[in-house]
Structure 1
Amino acid sequence: MRKEAGFNEIIRKVRKDLFGKGPERIHTTFVNNMAISMLHGNLTPTEKFIAQEAEGKQMVHAARTKMVQKIYPSQFKKELEDYMNSKLVHLFSDIKIEEDVAISVFIFEDKITD
């Protein structure tokens, strides 16, 4: 299995555990010491309903980005670091609610190799 596929499976599992639904598609690219993941089809039916109003859209966005940035480092850091064989230094994450596309950039201490 390619390293990206295994990485994507960890991401899918984490998101499913965290939000009750994993992304429908994930594409990850490794560049130097970064894993850049685009995630499509993230929102639950409830989140889609809430996001129909501007205020709801802001709530879903805030919850999604803050939870991801808080939960990954505290609960899934070891799993990611073990798989990547490198320390996770930073995580940046954002979601575009209208298109239901998220991006996460994981920055590791060492250059990523296969």
Structure 2
Amino acid sequence: MFFDNVAHAMGAGGQGAAQGPAGQLGAFLPLILMFAIFYFLLIRPQQKKAKQHKQMLADLKKGDRILTGGGMYGRITALEGDELTVELAEGFSVKVDRGYVAGLANPVRKQENKSK
């Protein structure tokens, strides 16, 4: 007798058949909204930033001041495909792969900070 009551209490009670496709969509709606929020707040801006970085790497030219991924500042003295020759100090040059350039160094901003 006890098992009949437990089984009845665990049953859906006829609601499962009444929900249909609209009820299933309602169950997935929070997941769909969470994916949309993650896409617009995290994934899309990250893709945009990666695209800008790739374009900056493609636009590097001789004479540009750069910051490497290792934190070294230098000036590009030669370009050979993906290999850059970077002058770190007068008379001291190293070769760096284009992919290890973190960004362009802005010498104007440094001069502004020194004058303050």
TM-score by shorter chain over 0.5: no
Instruction: Compare CA radii of gyration and give the structure with the larger one.
Output: 2
Could you say which structure has the greater relative contact order, defined with CA pairs below 8 angstroms and 6 or more residues apart?
A: 1
| Higher helix residue share | 2
User: Which TM-score band (shorter chain)?
Assistant: under 0.3
The normalised TM-score by structure 2 is: 0.25
The normalised TM-score by structure 1 is: 0.25
